[in-house]
């Protein structure tokens, strides 16, 4: 039987990247099973899924082999260790004469890649035999390293980049030259064609085969202009040598940063790790251990009486991290400080003798390095809760959503909410009761018990429960979390959840630029807050403008005279969505309006747009005779066109239409309606945009708004820009360039949101499986030189998920004036990783 040509093609594609048939075969079989014999996902993106699956299998096999090998080795080592331990125990027992009893639990840091129980676990050892309690020495302080510091994954489940890269180690590249043949014909698929407003008597320029060689190797059309990698934040990997508290030359740890609090220490006493000024704790029952650097605002540790050690971590805006272990010396009033080496030796000795299960090569220095490694490996919690707010006795109230700034204690034991973000006002509460005052999706507030706490929320919090007396309710990021402070511990100077000043800009500088309570400055119909719980970076300076604005030369003509009868539904009345017959606007969209009654883009159009973005080559690319993009890029020598996607348009009703303003075919022009928030992403992508409410598939999120520039202006701007790195991601308005036989410079437009824009300028890139897709929308301009670029959800999106779109970056295009950044999107389809792989194997 002749082999299936698709199978043969898959084998061929894999062979090109060095994968033999015998490796491909079983994986291909599995994939066909998984995809129910559907070849499309397998063939997509040059058999990416197949290549990835093969690599994954190779890795899994290698890991399995290693595991087997390691466990054999570990067993041998264990035997050896046991013998040594027995020896040591004998010596210790002789020395200490302590009767046998179970050892208390010792919290230990989960080291990197160490998922199983710690080899030094203090709970019964592998044989179930309890370990002996060591002799207690005067300096024998228990310590605890919070597990939260050793987390390997965030709650979002998104893998961190180092892990991702690690996973891909050893994988072979999917080479660009394995691309399937690109169709040279201009044959848009039917659905697309039906919606695409075009032709209008203009002769389309047929795609030119000659351009294929110069086409982007990723096979993606140019729908945007890229820009550079952000200033690497890797600098934070270099640790500073810990210095004395009094050292002045230590880099200032600028005002409360991402201080990670330890989880409870011994005796159930919660670690404070609070960021109190030194004075704040005076008079409390705690021993205050303060950093000398008060101006820096670095955190101070307060040690409750029963606790003896406190571990704190602070990072500075310059990326340095300080781990401080605070010891309470009350047990020994004559205590004097020893030197580091002696301390390390002592600890080694203690670990070897007391904890006994350590390798004889154990070194404290290595342990400290491991702590640092683990810390740096740990992803910041994406949505870490704000610290609890100070509470008046008996009354409590905290509300936060990343956007809530502070809570005011109220009179009469009552509580109140003071918020920004989408919480609009706070009601005074009666007689020791507390309430919830919020806008947004807070739906229900229970009356609280006398003197109890209150919850204020934004985002997706739906229900606030009454709290126990003296309790504190913290609501953060749309989810209510409760912090019950049974010790009555108070934080008189709460840390704000808003942007904190960096070394470069003062808080006032930023305030003058941005209203962090509402970055839109009241120009949208919703409030859009801004939070940074990750570092001290301030948001970039830009002007918030609610709609596009022409920079200079762009030809954008909105004249009513240009809107012909077939471009508006002047005979309509009421809501076009409910009209029995297709109106003129619907006809422009292939006989069907794009939106559902719920105001969502219909699923088939969304799917079509997703497909098109994922694999533009399979749809339709248009090649200009003389590409305006290349023209503006290269001046004299015009390179061949790299292709532009011919895209589906949504046609909205507008001024000349007879329908009313509430017509369901007017969505994008109404602007942002969803609860959004600008936030600092935890994984090096800078600022990002997230939703504070669940979004269904097809929901309009926002439009890409910016300055309308000609491409020539944009290139000029970028080349003259002193700081090219800072450019937001400009987009080309080239969705209909194909309808033009020749595009004049002033008609070849793009949008640049660097200096003027809206929250869309914060949407980060995600390769392939982003949760937003951009769709061109015609509102005022029938000629499609100028149109709106609107973002709609590609699937259901959960509250607090970051919103992303695929910029369409070709990470291989090194000629591009704006250098592509190093992608940290975390997608398993990341094209940048693919590129790195390819380089590695080149």
Ligand X SMILES: C[S@@+](CC[C@H](N)C(=O)[O-])C[C@H]1O[C@@H](n2cnc3c(N)ncnc32)[C@H](O)[C@@H]1O
* Residue number with CB closer to ligand X (755 or 821): 821
How far apart are CB 718 and ligand X at their closest, in Å? 12
735 and 646 Cβ atoms separated by less than 8 Å: yes
DSSP 8-state symbol, 344 = H
How far apart are CB 765 and ligand X at their closest, in Å? 4
* Residue number with CB closer to ligand X (432 or 730): 730
How far apart are CB 752 and ligand X at their closest, in Å? 10
* Residue number with CB closer to ligand X (196 or 685): 685
* Residue number with CB closer to ligand X (687 or 792): 687
Rounded Cα distance between 323 and 375, Å, is: 10
How far apart are CB 507 and ligand X at their closest, in Å? 18
The DSSP bridge pattern shows strands 301-303 and 287-289 to be: antiparallel
How far apart are CB 742 and ligand X at their closest, in Å? 31
Rounded Cα distance between 445 and 479, Å, is: 14
Rounded Cα distance between 711 and 747, Å, is: 9
How far apart are CB 513 and ligand X at their closest, in Å? 13
Identify the H or E element spanning 376. Answer: helix 364-377
Rounded Cα distance between 54 and 13, Å, is: 13
E strands, 114-263, in order: none
689 and 766 Cβ atoms separated by less than 8 Å: no
Strand partners, 476: 479
231 and 822 Cβ atoms separated by less than 8 Å: no
User: Alpha carbon 3 to chain centroid distance?
Assistant: 45
How far apart are CB 199 and ligand X at their closest, in Å? 33
380 and 258 Cβ atoms separated by less than 8 Å: yes
Rounded Cα distance between 357 and 105, Å, is: 14
Rounded Cα distance between 804 and 668, Å, is: 18
Rounded Cα distance between 440 and 423, Å, is: 7
* Residue number with CB closer to ligand X (350 or 724): 724
Inter-CA distances, 535 with 236, 324, 683, 708, Å: 11, 18, 11, 33
Q: Which residues bind ligand X (CB under 6 A)?
A: 227, 230, 540, 685-688, 728-729, 761-762, 764-765, 821, 823-825
Residue 223's contacts (CB-CB under 8 Å, 6 or more residues apart) are 644, 645, 731, 732, 734, 774, 807, 808
* Residue number with CB closer to ligand X (386 or 532): 532
* Residue number with CB closer to ligand X (43 or 774): 774
How far apart are CB 353 and ligand X at their closest, in Å? 48
How far apart are CB 835 and ligand X at their closest, in Å? 13
* Residue number with CB closer to ligand X (622 or 679): 679
Which residue number places its CB atom closest to ligand X?
Answer: 686
Ramachandran sector of residue 164 (left: φ over 0; alpha: ψ -120 to 50; beta: rest) = alpha
Strand partners, 756: 543
How far apart are CB 721 and ligand X at their closest, in Å? 13
DSSP 8-state symbol, 178 = G
- Cα maximum dimension of the chain: 102
Instruction: With CA atoms as reference, report the closest residue to 585 among 611, 610, 564.
Output: 564
Identify the H or E element spanning 315. Answer: strand 309-315
* Residue number with CB closer to ligand X (236 or 362): 236
Inter-CA distances, 44 with 10, 50, 182, 756, 806, Å: 11, 9, 13, 37, 16
* Residue number with CB closer to ligand X (590 or 686): 686
How far apart are CB 728 and ligand X at their closest, in Å? 4
* Residue number with CB closer to ligand X (173 or 686): 686
* Residue number with CB closer to ligand X (107 or 765): 765
How far apart are CB 230 and ligand X at their closest, in Å? 4
């Amino acid at each position: 039987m002749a082999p299936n040509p698709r199978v043969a093609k898959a084998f061929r594609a894999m062979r090109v990247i060095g994968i033999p048939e015998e490796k491909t075969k079983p994986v291909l079989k599995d994939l066909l099973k998984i995809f129910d014999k559907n070849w499309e996902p397998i063939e997509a993106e040059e058999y990416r899924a197949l290549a990835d699956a093969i690599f994954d299998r190779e890795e899994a096999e290698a890991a399995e082999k290693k595991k087997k090998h390691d466990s054999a080795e570990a067993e041998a080592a264990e035997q050896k260790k046991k013998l040594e331990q027995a020896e040591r125990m004998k010596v210790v027992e002789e020395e200490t004469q302590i009767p046998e009893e179970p050892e208390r639990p010792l919290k230990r840091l989960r080291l990197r890649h160490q998922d199983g129980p710690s080899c030094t676990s203090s709970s019964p050892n592998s044989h179930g035999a309890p370990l002996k309690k060591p002799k207690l020495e005067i300096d024998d302080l228990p310590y605890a390293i919070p597990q939260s510091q050793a987390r390997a994954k965030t709650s979002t489940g998104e893998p961190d980049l180092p892990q991702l890269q690690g996973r891909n180690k050893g994988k072979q590249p999917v080479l660009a030259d394995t691309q399937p043949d690109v169709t040279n014909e201009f044959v848009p698929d039917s659905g697309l064609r039906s919606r695409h407003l075009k032709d209008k008597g203009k002769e389309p320029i047929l795609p030119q085969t000659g351009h294929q060689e110069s086409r982007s190797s990723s096979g993606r059309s140019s729908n945007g202009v890229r820009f550079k990698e952000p200033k690497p934040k890797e600098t934070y990997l270099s640790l500073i040598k810990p210095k004395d508290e009094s050292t002045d030359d230590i880099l200032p740890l600028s005002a409360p940063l991402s201080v990670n609090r330890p989880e409870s220490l011994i005796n159930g006493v919660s670690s404070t790790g609070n960021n109190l000024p030194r004075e704040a704790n005076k008079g409390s029952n705690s021993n205050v251990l303060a950093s000398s650097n008060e101006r820096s605002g670095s955190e101070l540790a307060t040690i409750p009486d029963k606790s003896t050690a406190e571990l704190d971590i602070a990072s500075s805006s310059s990326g340095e991290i300080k781990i401080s272990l605070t010891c309470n010396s009350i047990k020994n009033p004559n205590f004097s400080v020893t030197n580091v080496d002696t301390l390390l030796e002592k600890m080694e000795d203690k670990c070897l003798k007391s904890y006994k299960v350590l390798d004889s090569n154990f070194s404290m220095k290595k342990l400290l390095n491991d702590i640092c490694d683990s810390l740096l490996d740990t992803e910041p919690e994406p949505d870490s809760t704000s610290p609890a707010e100070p509470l008046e006795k008996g009354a409590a109230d905290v509300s936060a959503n990343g956007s809530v700034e502070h809570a005011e204690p109220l009179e009469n034991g009552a509580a109140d909410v003071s918020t920004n973000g989408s919480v609009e006002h706070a009601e005074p509460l009666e007689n020791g009761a507390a309430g919830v005052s919020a806008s947004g999706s807070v739906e229900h507030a229970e009356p609280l018990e006398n003197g109890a706490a209150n919850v204020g929320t934004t985002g997706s919090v739906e229900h606030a429960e009454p709290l126990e007396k003296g309790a504190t309710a913290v609501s953060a990021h749309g989810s209510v979390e409760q912090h019950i402070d049974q010790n009555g511990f108070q934080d008189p100077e709460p840390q704000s959840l808003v942007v904190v000043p960096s070394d470069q800009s003062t808080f006032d500088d930023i305030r003058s630029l941005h209203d962090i309570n509402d970055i839109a400055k009241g120009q949208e119909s919703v409030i859009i807050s801004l939070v940074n719980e990750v570092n001290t970076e301030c948001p970039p300076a830009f002007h918030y403008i609610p709609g596009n604005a022409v920079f200079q030369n762009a030809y954008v003509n909105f004249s009513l005279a240009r809107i012909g009868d077939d471009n508006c539904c002047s005979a309509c009345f009421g809501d076009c969505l409910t009209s029995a017959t297709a109106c003129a606007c619907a006809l422009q969209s292939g006989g069907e309006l794009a939106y559902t009654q719920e105001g969502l883009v219909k699923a088939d159009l969304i799917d079509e747009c997703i497909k098109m973005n994922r694999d533009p080559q399979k749809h339709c690319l248009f090649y200009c005779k003389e590409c305006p993009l290349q023209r503006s890029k290269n001046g004299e020598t015009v390179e061949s066109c790299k292709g532009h996607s011919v895209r589906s348009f949504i046609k909205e009703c507008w001024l000349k239409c007879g329908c009313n303003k509430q017509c369901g075919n007017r969505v994008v022009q109404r602007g942002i309606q969803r609860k959004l928030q600008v936030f600092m992403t935890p994984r090096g992508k800078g600022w990002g945009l997230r939703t504070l409410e669940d979004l269904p598939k097809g929901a309009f999120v926002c439009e890409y708004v910016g300055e309308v520039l000609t491409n020539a202006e944009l290139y000029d701007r970028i080349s003259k820009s002193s700081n090219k790195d800072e450019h937001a991601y400009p987009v080309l308005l080239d969705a209909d360039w194909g309808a033009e036989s020749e595009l004049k410079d002033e008609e070849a437009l793009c949008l640049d949101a660097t200096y003027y824009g809206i929250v869309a300028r914060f949407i980060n890139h995600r390769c392939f499986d982003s949760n937003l897709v951009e769709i061109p929308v015609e509102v005022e301009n029938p000629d499609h030189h100028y149109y709106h670029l609107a973002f709609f959800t590609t699937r259901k999106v959960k509250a607090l998920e970051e919103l992303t779109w695929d910029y369409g970056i070709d990470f291989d295009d090194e000629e591009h004036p704006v250098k592509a950044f190093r992608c940290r999107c975390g997608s398993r389809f990341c094209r940048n990783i693919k590129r790195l792989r390819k380089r590695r194997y080149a």
